[in-house]
Amino acid sequence: MEGRATAPLDDKTIWTNGGSGADSLAAAAIDRFCLSLGSVSGDLALAQGASGVVIAGGLGLRIKDSLVKSGFPERFVEKGRFEGFMAALPVKLITHPQPGLFGAAAAFARQHA
């Protein structure tokens, strides 16, 4: 992409270097991922007739800063004649570091309170 040699990196290094801006190729990879995520999640939400979209797991916490700066929102919404419908769909990002554990604890507390 930039005409320079690259070394194989593990995913954690790519996310770290790309998120901090230390590596322009890693940053471009994260941006491309966010763009793709916007397109695909918008397609799935539209195809399934969703009333909202939630991005969860460790991914939400990792990409929270990049997602806002990327073209995710535009890619999510740009669905031709359905653009108005898509613009009204809420997209939520779970950034809790342990959402599964938190949810399990809440469910246990509800059942055993």
pLDDT over 80 (residue 57) = no
Number of domains in the chain: 1
Which pLDDT score, from 0 to 100, does residue 2 have?
65
Residue 26 maps to a domain: yes
Residue 3 maps to a domain: no
Which pLDDT score, from 0 to 100, does residue 21 have?
84
For 1-113, strand residue ranges (E) read 53-55, 91-93
Which pLDDT score, from 0 to 100, does residue 1 have?
55
Residue 5 maps to a domain: no
Interval 52-60 mean pLDDT: 85
* The pair of three-digit structure tokens given for residue 37, joined into one six-digit string: 């995520």
Residue 51 maps to a domain: yes
Residue 80 maps to a domain: yes
pLDDT over 70 (residue 62) = yes
Q: How confident is the model over 65-106, as pLDDT tens digits?
A: 888 888 999 999 999 999 999 999 999 998 888 888 888 999
Nearest to 72 by CA among 30, 26, 23, 24: 30
Residue 70 maps to a domain: yes
Nearest to 95 by CA among 49, 70, 51, 63: 63
Residue 56 maps to a domain: yes
Domain containing 19: what range?
A: 11-111
Q: How confident is the model over 12-55, as pLDDT tens digits?
A: 898 888 888 888 898 999 999 999 999 999 999 999 999 999 99
Which pLDDT score, from 0 to 100, does residue 41 have?
96
Which CATH number do you get for residue 38? 3.40.367.20
Residues 26-35, buried b or exposed e (16+ Cβ, 10 A)?
A: bbebbbebbb
